[in-house]
């Protein structure tokens, strides 16, 4: 995750968050134009967005934390803007492990299988599914699996080469497993510069659980977004 050192004005933030920045170096780690992400070298990430935009993510992040596969959620404040504070997850994102593609595929497949096997009772529908509700072939997708929704390498944290946690879980919830499968394959291919590990990942995940026709539909829809 890229970080650029920046300066802030404490008066721009709720008083409850001042301790996060006092005496700390602050870095901008934003990658989404609709959201600002700041990192305090005291070990905190602060997401800032329009009011109520982070409510769902704060709820899902807390759920992931309670499952033992997410960063600690310190606070969620909805004032003139939304602020969500999390502790820095232990480890580094999966982009740091591109030098061992097979091992990376193994870790990602196991992490995905674990998430996809979690109970879905009382879990909200993933916001991803709204996209497919308005697509002609969207009815082919099921709502039967706990998905991340943005299963790309920067959102998977590894510690000492093993899975540690998921971050950026605002799109998580009940959805179709093929959405996660599409995004992890896209992210692997993009960051490795080759698609030679696609079959290897699918074998690890379990080809019997993958419908290539549905995966193709997901690819077509995401290409239009």
Q: Are 122 and 56 in contact (CB under 8 A)?
A: no
Spans of all domains in the chain: 4-87, 92-224
- State both tokens at 34: 């609709």
User: What span, in angstroms and rounded, lies between the C-alpha atoms of 45 and 209?
Assistant: 36
| pLDDT tens sequence across 14-50 | 999 999 999 999 999 888 888 999 999 999 999 999 9
Residue 221, SS3 per DSSP? helix
Under the banding of pLDDT at 50, 70 and 90, the label for residue 135 is: confident
What average pLDDT is seen over the chain? 95
**In this structure, which CATH number among 3.30.200.20, 3.40.50.970, 3.40.50.300, 3.40.640.10 belongs to the domain 4-87?**
3.30.200.20
- pTM score, two decimals? 0.93
Q: What is the pLDDT of residue 132?
A: 87
Q: How confident is the model at residue 204 (pLDDT cuts 50, 70, 90)?
A: very high
Residue 196 binned pLDDT confidence (cut-offs 50, 70, 90): very high
pLDDT confidence tier of residue 139, bands split at 50, 70 and 90: confident
Mean pLDDT of 166-185: 98
State the first-to-last Cα distance of the chain, in angstroms, to the nearest integer: 23
Question: 135-151: string of b/e by CB count within 10 Å (b at 16+)?
Answer: eeebebbeeebbbbbbb
Residue 1: pLDDT band (50, 70, 90) is low
pLDDT score at 133: 84
The tens digit of pLDDT for each residue in 73-93 reads 999 999 999 999 999 999 999
pLDDT at 198: 98
CA R_g for the chain: 18
pLDDT category, 225, cuts 50, 70, 90? low
Instruction: Quickly list DSSP for 122-137.
Output: TPPBPTHHHHHHTSGG
144 is a catalytic site residue: no
Tell me which of 83 and 135 has the higher pLDDT.
Answer: 83
Q: Which fold has domain 92-224?
A: Aminoglycoside 3'-phosphotransferase; Chain: A, domain 2 (3.90.1200)
- Compute the distance between CA of residue 105 and CA of residue 107 in angstroms, rounded to an integer: 6
**Catalytic residue from among 150, 168, 176, 180:** 150
Q: How confident is the model at residue 137 (pLDDT cuts 50, 70, 90)?
A: confident
Which helix (DSSP H) or strand (DSSP E) does residue 52 occupy?
A: none
Q: Say what percent of the chain tops pLDDT 90.
A: 88
């Amino acid at each position: 995750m890229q970080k650029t050192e920046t300066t802030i004005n404490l008066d721009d933030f709720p008083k409850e968050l001042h301790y996060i920045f006092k005496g700390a170096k602050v870095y901008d780690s934003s990658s989404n134009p609709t959201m600002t992400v700041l990192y305090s070298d005291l070990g905190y990430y602060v997401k800032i967005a329009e009011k109520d935009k982070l409510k769902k993510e704060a709820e899902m992040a807390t759920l992931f934390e309670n499952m033992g596969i997410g960063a600690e959620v310190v606070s969620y404040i909805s004032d003139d803007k939304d602020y969500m504070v999390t502790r820095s997850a232990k480890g580094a994102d999966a982009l740091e492990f591109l030098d061992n593609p097979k091992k990376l595929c193994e870790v990602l497949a196991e992490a995905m299988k674990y998430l996809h096997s979690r109970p879905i009772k009382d879990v909200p529908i993933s916001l991803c599914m709204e996209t497919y509700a308005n697509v002609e072939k969207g009815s082919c997708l099921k709502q039967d699996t706990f998905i991340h929704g943005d299963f790309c390498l920067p959102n998977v944290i590894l510690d000492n080469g093993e899975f540690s946690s998921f971050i950026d879980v605002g799109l998580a919830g009940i959805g179709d497993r093929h959405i996660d499968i599409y995004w992890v394959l896209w992210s692997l291919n993009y960051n490795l510069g080759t698609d030679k590990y696609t079959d290897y990942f699918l074998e690890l995940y379990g080809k019997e659980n993958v419908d290539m026709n549905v995966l193709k539909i997901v690819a077509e829809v995401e290409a239009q977004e």
